[in-house]
Chain A
Amino acid sequence: MDHRAANELLGPYALDACDKAETAAIEAHVLDCVTCQRDVAEIHEASGWLGVFETAIPAEWLRAAILREAATDDRGRIDRRAGVGDRRATRS
């Protein structure tokens, strides 16, 4: 995907409004494009904030179920100051 096509799609991309193939093509371009990286950083966070007032209280059992499952593996540990993140990894 060329720069122009990718850059035009960053709005839909930030809203998760692209299909899988387009999303993959955009992400491949963004990895190598400083301009697009800057644009994505700016608008992706904005789209994250769109969701933050959509709160709903989950069922009580869910918390215990998640903690129980987390306890069965020791693969990770929450550390808010975790090292340098990898932008590519955030898409999963």
Chain B
Amino acid sequence: LDALGEVYDMYGAVVYGVALKVTGERAEAEALTREVFLDLWRHPERFDPSRSPLRPWLAMLAHRRAVEAVRARAAPSRQGDGMVASSGRVLDLDEIMQSIIRAEEVRAALAALPEDQRTAIRLAYFAGKTYQQVAAALDLPEDTVKARMCSGLRRVASSVHVAVVEEER
């Protein structure tokens, strides 16, 4: 149980932050955060450290649940703002530093993307839209949006992948 508390202290702000960003609802983000950590507690075998570090993996879990919650209530997502703050109360400084560096790399990689790819990715990831909704919002064919998401993510992946493998193994 101490281990769960420790993991929560390190990653609670990321899980809650992603859930809050996508859902825009504090109570919903709290419920999702609870689900993600209890899920990890009950099914630790689902996390495979050889595939991904824990931080992005938990962010992925939180994102998927948040998107499902937003779609289930069939309302447009709102951006969480105001209460977004940088994470505190964390233990592993080394992990934090690496994560900050990595987040900066991702931020830089996103910023370096062609505008059209960045827009497609942001609308999907941060606003929880489906690619069909993104296509409609941008007035573009769905195939175009699919392709932009794929190539944009590939670029982001390739610019951070080497460093991730070298540092986290």
Q: Is the Cβ of A82 less than 8 Å from the Cβ of B18? A: no
- B residues near A14, Cβ cutoff 8 Å: 149, 153
- Size bracket, chain B contacts: 35 or more
Does B88 lie at the interface of the complex (its beta carbon under 8 Å from any beta carbon of A)?
yes
Known A-B contacts A63-B8, A66-B8, A81-B49; A18 and B60 likewise in contact (beta carbons under 8 Å): no
Inside 8 A of A12's CB, which chain B residues have their CB?
124, 130-131, 145-146, 149
A-B residue pairs in contact (CB < 8 Å), sample of 22: A8-B143, A11-B154, A19-B130, A45-B51, A45-B56, A47-B60, A51-B17, A51-B59, A52-B103, A54-B59, A55-B16, A56-B80, A57-B13, A57-B85, A59-B30, A62-B30, A66-B4, A67-B1, A78-B3, A80-B54, A82-B48, A84-B48
Tell me, in angstroms, the Cα distance from A80 to B156 when the chains sit together: 26
Known: A16-B63, A70-B1. A62 touches B56 (CB 8 A): no
Q: Are A63 and B12 in contact (CB under 8 A)?
A: yes
* A9 vs B143: C-alpha distance when bound (angstroms): 9
| Chain B hits for A63, CB < 8 A | 5, 8-9, 12
* B-side interface mostly: helix
Assess the B149–A77 pair: CB atoms within 8 A: no
Q: Is the CB of A55 within 8 A of B129?
A: no
Inter-chain contact A49/B41, CB cutoff 8 Å: no
Counting chain A residues whose Cβ lies within 8 A of the other chain, the interface size class is 35 or more
Contacts A54-B59, A78-B3 supplied; 7 other A-B pairs, CB < 8 Å: A11-B149, A11-B154, A15-B121, A50-B110, A58-B30, A82-B44, A82-B49
Given A43-B154, A65-B34, A70-B41 contact (CB < 8 Å): yes
Q: How far is the CA of A78 from the CA of B20 in the complex (A)?
A: 25
Residues of chain A having any CB pair with chain B under 8 Å: 8-12, 14-19, 41-59, 62-63, 65-67, 69-71, 73, 75-87, 89-92
